[in-house]
A and B are shown apart, each in its own frame.
Chain A
């Protein structure tokens, strides 16, 4: 509060834009997984859905349903199948509708 007040007096404005520059700590954050759909087989997807501790992954017919809202970015899926899962690097995930957080990941690994 004091910082804000002094800086406001000095500059004549009290607010600044978000974020003024990229945050250096952002790359150290654990982030939700991104899936390589072509390396994802039904068998792998079923295994990932089974080990996900927060129930964020669910196997449907030809898709892996990924609920970003439930994900705790624990990294167990990436440890289980490193070829098919990696960290997405995304952390600005706020949504104004719950349905926007539910992603359908196509399973293309069996097509080859």
Chain B
């Protein structure tokens, strides 16, 4: 199945509603705090058609935080296998993307060492706004922005030194 077909299948089968299962693979819980804030009235995740579910069997999207500690590998695979297809895996936070823990006897260091990740959300922690945008990218409702961001500015350093 090509990526385009998968995207169409997701759009057709999920419609505008999607259930999220969060998976903590050894994070410090700050990512979880930000994820919980999504459901608060200020960010109000439900207005966009996303819902949290406590069971992977009801979930369409797996929101994974943490550096994937080796002790959790079996549980992570079982969670992924328990989800009905089509399913989306989103790696959340710098730990899950390999920025905080190296691969060593205790952790894999990245989530994609164990699970097939579809969308990466950087940040330590990613703010609720960043998470919302990531979820939008995961279901194909929002365009990625980061591809076109150079993280290079070429203005005059003397003139704008005071603003940083």
Contact check, A95 vs B151: say whether CB atoms are below 8 A apart. Answer: no
**B83 adjacent to chain A (CB < 8 Å):** no
Contacts of B120 in A (CB 8 A): 69, 94-96, 98, 101
> Interface residue tally of chain B, by bracket?
35 or more
A37 touching B152, Cβ below 8 Å: yes
The answer to whether A54 and B99 have CB atoms under 8 Å apart is yes
A49 partner residues in chain B, CB cutoff 8 A: none
Inter-chain contact B133/A101, CB cutoff 8 Å: no
Given contacts A68-B146, A72-B100, A91-B130, contact A105 B152 (CB under 8 A): yes
In the complex, which of the residues B16, B141, B157 contacts A39, with contact meaning CB atoms closer than 8 Å? B157
A26 to chain B, nearest CB (A): 6
Q: Which residues of A contact B150 (CB under 8 A)?
A: 103, 105
A93 touches B123 (CB 8 A): yes
**Residue ID in chain A nearest B47 by CB atoms:** A16
Tally A residues with Cβ within 8 Å of B.
Answer: 54
* Contact assessment for A67 and B151 in the assembled complex, using a CB-CB cutoff below 8 Å: no
B interface with A by C-beta (< 8 Å): 16, 41, 44, 46-49, 51, 94, 97-100, 112, 117-124, 126-127, 129-130, 132-134, 136-138, 141-142, 144-147, 149-155, 157, 161, 163-164
- 15 residue pairs bridging A and B, Cβ less than 8 Å apart: A4-B44, A16-B47, A23-B129, A38-B154, A56-B99, A68-B146, A68-B151, A71-B122, A73-B123, A73-B124, A74-B124, A91-B130, A93-B122, A93-B123, A95-B120
